[in-house]
Chains A and B, each alone.
Chain A
Amino acid sequence: MDVMPKWAEVILVPLISLLLAAILSALVILGIGEDPVEAVKLMVNGALGSTYGWGYTLYYATNFMFTGLAVSIAFHARLFNIGGEGQAMLGGLGVAIACLYIPWPHWSLALVGAAVMAGLFGAAWAAIPAWLQAKRGSHIVITTIMFNFIAASLLNYVLVNLMRPQGSMDPATARFPEATNLPTLHDLLAPFGIEFSKAAPANVSLLVAMAACVLLWLLIWRTRLGYEIRAYGHSESAAKYAGISPVKITMIAMIISGALAGLMAVNNVMGEAERLVLNSTEGAGFIGIAVALMGRSHPLGVFIAAILFGFLYQGGAELALWTSIPRELIVVIQALVILFTGALDNMVRMPLERIFLALRRARSSKPERKEG
């Protein structure tokens, strides 16, 4: 039986965990001799104070929505996909191939084509560890870590030896043709008379990411497959007894996960850089872990957590620009979020459970006394 009411489970526990992470982050800022209040002010101003700031915040948030959803769906099947980084890299390769070698007439068609390729490449890169886990029992965490490194080497090879334009020294592809360039939020909002910064990279992929949040919610909570994934994640033996195939669930959950991670490339490769460069993912695959943990693997939670991390990213960049606090502060905050909402979950939960148990006993022991 649940000791805690649902609201405490869903809101109170993560909130306290986040608060602990925030307090420690503030102490870290104090420790390096800066003022945390001043730092937060700078971050809010830099990330949310202008449409330029918002444009970057939302651009980063789009990346984190995709990778956060990717980690979430795997979590639901109790699989820890730590390979979002590699899957997103391969997604970028898919986008680059789609954009460079197919003459698209219009960006909308190019978006669909590139998204399909990105999803396919990401899914394929996740399918191998999934198959190895399902069929050969190799631990998915270890294999996905290995696949991150293999993906980095593969991309390095492809960019240096195969896709680099002649005469260029950069390990990067050529610029994508004009017709594949995605409209930015500036272009999208201008018809409605809304002024939005031209310089910020937030683009139409944000809408794709939001659609992915809704679709994933429908999939997990409104379909039979989603039910099977959750049931499997809850108890493997019970799911097996109910006729749910572990092989099938592992494969499907990881393929969706890989496809979502791959889709991130539509935003950063096609929408922002407009060419594929080395290390285009910039760690977004790993931030997806923090986003999923913070959002409790719920698409709405992921959406909110992704925007918060987008804010941290853009705010952190501003902070590095104006103070002597390096950008790595975000990495520390990310670590603390993962630590408190993920690994030290019980540290918050155990005392809370005790409090709720005591409260309930106090309430129920008065009307009827049956012990003895």
Chain B
Amino acid sequence: MEAYLTLIQVLDSTIRLATPLLLACLAGLYSERAGIFDIGLEGKMLAAAFFSAAIASLTGSVWLGLAAGITASVALSALHGVASITFRGNQLISGVAINFLAAGMTVLIAQHWFSQGGRTPSLFAGGRFEPVTLPFADSIADVPIIGPLYSELISGHSVLVYVAFAAVPLTWWLLYRTRFGLRLRAVGENPAAVDTAGVSVIGLRYAAVVICGILCGLAGAYLSTALQAGFVKDMSAGRGFIALAALIFAKWRPWYALWATLLFGLFGALETRPDVIESLTGMKVQGQLLGALPYIMTVLILAGFGGKAIPPRAGGEPYVKER
């Protein structure tokens, strides 16, 4: 029973840590499936984290905060779109610029607005996403096995967690069961064919980039208004890059993205519980190794060990209409 409760605890923090990764990973999925590489996920998440915490703290409403976070993230997405779609610039360099822009601007504005060393004031009730208690969670909490599973693990997360998990089947449906999804995937594989069919390559790519911005906005808002109560400098802490790694791990597919981010979330959860690993494997595993594991595994996958990950074929290439 003791072990079972520990397991539930670890899985519970796995879900908390996987949520921002999942949202950012799906964000990257839309963008890259449409042929736009996006290494600026990190920056967009960071900008969204700041603006949602800042506006939530100023207005006292977490929903206004969420809207501000999404707006900031979509604005950066639009910048990426202008650079890489309209002006056919280098998508990777644009992503790097966006990461730096977010890292600098968030601290600059935070200092100007709040003068607290680049952080926002702590958020209180109303300014935060509170845990949602699902129906009957309290009444069956004492039932063995199912009780803790339902009331601890499944119930009691912020609404954004449920949004993130619902986004997986939604993304699958949108990509594989709608005309928009078909075209979006096609524009990442063979934009010339889409163009010939009379569909706007530019329009589709901008749509994908905007969806990416919205999802990154949700991921960032989750960081500062649900996972923590306020923004601190550099709080995305490389999550955008782990999401990118998860995307490769998931081979650019929505359901795989769920498993990949849950796996990486599990590494994160275990990193804070060395006692669990020790009792499980009988070995002392270095925390640094667990932290680096997502990156190492991604390199191995990229190298083609354990199933080849093939990115969308037109990824990274600006589309030039034939003359």
The interface of chain A, by Cβ under 8 A from chain B, is: 28, 31-33, 80, 82, 132, 136-139, 141-143, 145-147, 149-150, 153-154, 156-157, 160-161, 286, 289, 293, 324-326, 328-336, 338-339, 342-347, 350
Which of B89, B99, B238, B286 sits near A344, CB closer than 8 Å? B89
Chain B residues positioned under 8 Å from A350 (CB to CB): 87
Among candidates A145, A149, A150, A324, residue contacting B39 with C-beta atoms closer than 8 Å: A145
How many residues on chain B are close to A (CB under 8 Å)? Answer: 47
Partner of A80, one of B87, B92, B101: B92
Find out whether the CB atom of B288 lies under 8 angstroms from the CB atom of A326: no
A335 and B101 contacting across the interface, CB-CB below 8 Å? yes
Complex CA gap A336/B101 in Å reads 7
Complex: chain B residue closest to A330, CB-CB: B104
CB <8 Å contact, B108 and A332: yes
Q: How far is the CA of A342 from the CA of B90 in the complex (A)?
A: 7
The answer to whether A346 and B303 have CB atoms under 8 Å apart is: no
| 10 residue pairs from A and B, CB less than 8 Å apart | A28-B105, A28-B108, A138-B302, A142-B298, A286-B100, A328-B105, A343-B83, A343-B93, A344-B82, A346-B87
The 3 A-B residue pairs whose C-beta atoms are closest, nearest first, are A331-B104, A343-B94, A335-B100
A266 shortest CB reach to chain B, Å: 26
The B interface is mostly helix, strand or loop, or mixed, namely helix
Q: How would residues 54 to 90 of chain B score, 1 for a CB under 8 Å from any chain A CB and 0 otherwise?
A: 0000000000000000000000000100111001111
With an 8 A cutoff between CB atoms, is B192 at the interface?
no
Given contacts A136-B304, A138-B302, A328-B104, are A150 and B292 in contact (CB under 8 A)? yes
**Chain B interface residues (CB < 8 Å from chain A):** 39, 79, 82-84, 87-94, 96-101, 103-105, 107-109, 111-112, 115, 118, 238, 241, 244-245, 248, 286, 288-289, 291-292, 295-296, 298-299, 302-304, 311
- Output the nearest chain B residue to A327 by Cβ-Cβ distance: B107
- Is B292 a contact of A154 with CB atoms below 8 Å? yes
B292: chain A residues at CB < 8 Å are 149-150, 153-154
For residue B295, which residues in chain A have a CB less than 8 angstroms away from its CB? Answer: 146-147, 149-150, 153
- Report chain A residues within 8 Å CB of B88: 346
Closest to A339 in B: B97
**CB pair B302 A139 closer than 8 Å:** yes
Which B residues are CB-close (under 8 A) to A147?
Answer: 295, 299
A145 to B242, CA, bound (A): 10
From B109, B288, B304, A32 is in contact (CB under 8 Å) with B109
Q: Which listed residue (B96, B244, B302) contacts A132, Cβ 8 A?
A: B302
Within 8 Å CB of B96, what residues of A? Answer: 82, 286, 289, 338, 342
A117 to chain B, nearest CB (A): 23
Contacts of B298 in A (CB 8 A): 142, 146
| A161 and B284 alpha carbons, distance in the complex (Å) | 13
- Please tell me if the beta carbons of B89 and A342 are within 8 angstroms of each other in the complex: yes
Which of B91, B107, B299, B311 has a CB less than 8 Å from the CB of A328?
Answer: B107
Residues from chain B with a CB closer than 8 A to the CB of A329 are 104, 108
Q: State which of B92, B109, B288 has its C-beta within 8 Å of the C-beta of A141.
A: B92
| Pairwise interchain contact B118-A326, C-beta atoms closer than 8 A | yes
